[in-house]
Structure 1
Amino acid sequence: MITHLPRIARRTLFRAAVLLVMGACAPALSAKSMELRYGHMNSPNSVAGMQAQMFADKVAKYTNGEVTIKVYPSSQLGKMQEMAEATSTGVIAISHNTAGGTGSLYEPFGAFDTPYLYRDVDHLMKVTASDSPLMQEMNEGLIDAAGVRVLYTYYFGTRHLTTNKAVRTPADLSGQKIRALPFPIYMTGVEALGAVPVPVDWSEVPTALATGQVSGQENPVNVVLSNKLYESQSHLMLTGHIMNAQVIVMNQGVWKKLTDAQRQAFEKAALEVRAEATDMVQQQEAEELAKLKELKMTVIGPDEGLELDAFKAAANKLVNERFAGKYGQIYTQIGEIK
């Protein structure tokens, strides 16, 4: 279950390189003030990028300037996995990732991104709330395994498929290479769509699409729009195969250096941003989908012949084969949350 410790030695070179580039990327601490670095892979104009800055602004406000957070978007501090590991080792203080990506630090987190797992967004938010018994249990495991704690989660969106052709059944994707996040649960999700999953870091997706390394990818509509994927992808299929929580994590050693008052300020900021970012995503989803249609992207849903039941059946079959033994108890706990 603890997958973090054997990789520490392999992180040494990455940590040294980042320290050289940043001049000292570890948090700058003093008795009076603290400057922390928050690295992520998303564009500043995406909801993911905006909520990171919202959190930084609120922390500065609620700590009366005692703690400042500088946000580094667009993979400036490394690829997704590198930033996750950098947060674990303390090279940077804060980062965010999908739950499946967080599973690279503590494997059970991958269960949260299982295809077709949640009844709706409200169910997802209850499962991933900081006071959820399951999330508290998972957070303790993450701290023990990787020295990282969850600050908050929010609804990142529901993932859909984009390609350059119409897809209505899993058979339509036979032999097609589709970009997947480089984590097991996502690879399985793409395979369940009927495609050949190809692990590609987000920073490399534009090149992978342009060169034909992959012929499609999957993401929420906000990501498709904010990153202009409509320029390289003609079709959007509303497969809704994974409902995502974005997970914002902080190095546990840095957290311990905060005063009680500062921790309360972080928790207040976290609760507010969680609610605001979730509302932002939900309010924008329909508008963004309409915008993609205006930009001449062909959108295919059940009304256009998309066979959702076929995708769900394929996903459930693979999940049961590969993850029921590993995550079965977690799935039971999630299903019991009302």
Structure 2
Amino acid sequence: MLSNVCKIGCLAAVVGTFTMSMGSAAAAEVTLRYGHMHTPTSIAGMQAEWLAEAIAEKTNGEVEVQIYPNSQLGKLQELAEGVSTGSIALSHNTAGAIGSLYPPFAAFDTPYLYRDIDHLMAVTDVNSPIMQELNEGLIEASGVRVLYGFYFGTRHLTADREILAPADLDGVKIRSIPFPIYMATVEGMGAVPVPVDWSEVPTALATGVVDGQENPVNVVVSAKLNEIQDYMMLTGHISAAQMIMINEDKWQSLSPEYQQAITEAASEVRERATTAMLDSESSDLAQLRDAGMTIIGPDESLDVDAFRDSVRARIAEEFDEQYGELYEKIAAVE
């Protein structure tokens, strides 16, 4: 009997020791909270998960990234400020939103700025001279560092009516991201900009607070905005990168080995997310058509040139003095 008790006790001790050993091996030494406003199934949401997985793999689980989607940790402005104050370690946001922390960053989201997607990605590469310059300014001004930016898509207009030219938007209320570069863009398109946080957009559209909004195709699909809006106009007014940022104090607290692992993970996820976004654009557009949304492009008499001229004039009026030199540097990037 005593022998059996000993066997049981010894076995329990071995199991307990093994369990404790496994627990300490799997326990993270560093935990980073990553808050964002997108759904987990959107590409923006999935790339956050990809980053967490890549970092865990490269650090043998010693750095854990905890993801909080759907604005759980705050709205657009609150997320940007949260990373600045350090209440959130990581987030992703538009360059326009980051411009609330350091105004020059907003220039990256200027409409009709990039020649093509390759130009956009070259400019927003964290190793490019322009990004290095602005990242240094952002760190100094707000304590925030951009880790990488991935292609977030090209923004188009959706509405509850057909729109073919800026004149058709006279008096029409279009939701705008609540930051100056976007407000001016919507004004330039001919509409009345109404600032609405992303978390409130579906309700604002459904209740008539706004008549339309503008976003990349993938966002319209993932948020099912086609169930509220009947028309999409392929204005293509902004091609943008979504910027992933980290609190600078948190970054500096990490060991060089962890920093290197995160940098490598960031580079991999940037490419993966950009490829996923590019691959999804045509299929997402087809999905919207199949679901009954009317897609209007130049072949359907959409006057893209009129939108481009009108928007550029409005942007020049408000931002050329502030960002003119930066625009020249961006244009010079090959």
TM-score, scaled to structure 2: 0.91
What's 1:159 paired with?
A: 155
**SS of 1:204 mapped into structure 2:** helix
What's 2:252 paired with?
A: 256
Residue 234 of structure 2 contacts residue 295 of structure 2 at CA under 8 Å; is this kept in 1?
A: yes
What's 1:85 paired with?
A: 81
Quote the offset at 1:336 in angstroms.
0.2
Deviations 1:65-122 (A, max 9, x none): 1100000000011111001101100001001101111101110011000010000000
**SS of 1:43 mapped into structure 2:** coil
**SS of 2:105 mapped into structure 1:** helix
Q: Which of 249, 255, 262 is matched with 1:266 structurally?
A: 262
Aligned residue type for 1:282: L
What's 1:6 paired with?
A: none
Q: Which of 301, 307, 313 is matched with 1:305 structurally?
A: 301
Q: Determine the C-alpha separation between the residues in 1 that align with 2:139 and 2:214.
A: 30
Residues 1:292 and 2:298 aligned together: no
Q: Determine the C-alpha separation between the residues in 2 that align with 1:207 and 1:320.
A: 33
**SS of 1:115 mapped into structure 2:** coil
**SS of 1:245 mapped into structure 2:** strand
Deviations 1:282-327 (A, max 9, x none): 0110000000000000000000000011001001111111100000
Residue 35 of structure 2 contacts residue 67 of structure 2 at CA under 8 Å; is this kept in 1?
A: yes
Deviations 1:192-236 (A, max 9, x none): 111000000000101111111101000000000000000000000
Aligned residue type for 1:305: S
Q: Which of 303, 321, 324 is matched with 1:325 structurally?
A: 321
What's 1:73 paired with?
A: 69
What's 1:149 paired with?
A: 145
Aligned residue type for 2:319: F
Q: Determine the C-alpha separation between the residues in 2 that align with 1:104 and 1:203.
A: 19
Aligned residue type for 1:272: E
Residues 1:49 and 2:71 aligned together: no
What's 2:10 paired with?
A: none
**SS of 2:292 mapped into structure 1:** coil
Taking structure 1 as reference, are residues 32 and 308 closer, same or farther at Cα in structure 2, changes over 3 Å only?
A: closer
What's 1:4 paired with?
A: none
What's 1:238 paired with?
A: 234
Q: Determine the C-alpha separation between the residues in 2 that align with 1:199 and 1:187.
A: 7
What's 2:200 paired with?
A: 204
Q: Determine the C-alpha separation between the residues in 2 that align with 1:41 and 1:117.
A: 25
Residues 1:223 and 2:234 aligned together: no
Write the mapping of 1:23-172 to structure 2, written as runs, cut at 5 A: 33-172=29-168
**SS of 1:142 mapped into structure 2:** helix
Q: Determine the C-alpha separation between the residues in 2 that align with 1:70 and 1:124.
A: 29
Unaligned runs of 5+ in 2: 1-26
What's 1:22 paired with?
A: none
Residue 28 of structure 2 contacts residue 61 of structure 2 at CA under 8 Å; is this kept in 1?
A: no
What's 1:14 paired with?
A: none
Identity %: 59
**SS of 2:32 mapped into structure 1:** strand
Q: Determine the C-alpha separation between the residues in 1 that align with 2:272 and 2:61.
A: 22
What's 1:26 paired with?
A: none
Quote the offset at 1:130 in angstroms.
1.1
Q: Determine the C-alpha separation between the residues in 1 that align with 2:322 and 2:287.
A: 40
Aligned residue type for 2:130: L
**SS of 1:314 mapped into structure 2:** helix
What's 2:275 paired with?
A: 279
Residue 28 of structure 2 contacts residue 64 of structure 2 at CA under 8 Å; is this kept in 1?
A: no
Q: Determine the C-alpha separation between the residues in 2 that align with 1:135 and 1:179.
A: 29
Task: Please give the root-mean-square deviation of Cα atoms over the aligned residues, in Å.
Answer: 0.9
Aligned residue type for 1:312: R
Runs of 4 or more, structure 1, over 4 Å off, are none
Q: Determine the C-alpha separation between the residues in 2 that align with 1:307 and 1:208.
A: 27
Quote the offset at 1:180 in angstroms.
0.3
Q: Determine the C-alpha separation between the residues in 1 that align with 2:217 and 2:161.
A: 17
Deviations 1:15-54 (A, max 9, x none): xxxxxxxxxxxxxxxx970111000000111000000000
**Rg (Cα) greater in structure:** 2
Aligned residue type for 1:60: A
**SS of 2:111 mapped into structure 1:** coil
Aligned residue type for 2:55: V
**SS of 1:327 mapped into structure 2:** helix
